[in-house]
Amino acid sequence: MSDSEDIELGPGAAFTVILQNEILLEKLKLLNFEKEFVKKQRGIRTISRITFSVPNNENQGEQFTQFIKLTQYLLQTNGVAIEVDEFDDPGAITSQIMESCRRLGVNVDFPPQKIRKGHGNEVVKILTSLADLALDRRGHRFFLLQNGQ
């Protein structure tokens, strides 16, 4: 987000993606992703409350890999399988993800390069949309209560 967008949206706008990532993590827990996904992956860090909301300056490639593998899991949970090899072109991978999301009806109205970095609003948006679809397929509803309601 640019400085001018921060000013227009307010001082807390930069933290919205962190809150959205935290909600995503709760949805993933409802999908039992720790057992179905995390334990089956080797060499991938545990997904935390901020994994996809802020850049991993130590290892950006690892963050992109986490995003790809979690997206594959969520797509598979929704009945769409994609094959990704670690040596595939990142542009081809992101295009494949975007196309798979469109087939499922996920709104991806942004350029594919927005998800190539493996973090940010667009990454969290895709993962959350896929998690919502997966929860719906399993008959679950996720409600976020606000202001004590």
Residue ranges covered by each domain of the chain: 3-137
Predicted TM-score (pTM) of this structure: 0.85
Give the CA-trace dihedral at 128, 134, 138, 143, to 10 degrees.
10
Would you give per-residue pLDDT tens digits along the chain (149 residues)?
444 444 466 777 778 999 999 999 999 999 998 888 877 776 677 788 888 999 988 888 889 999 999 999 999 999 999 998 878 899 999 999 999 999 999 999 999 999 999 999 999 999 999 999 999 998 887 766 555 54
- Cα distance between residue 31 and residue 46, in whole Å: 16
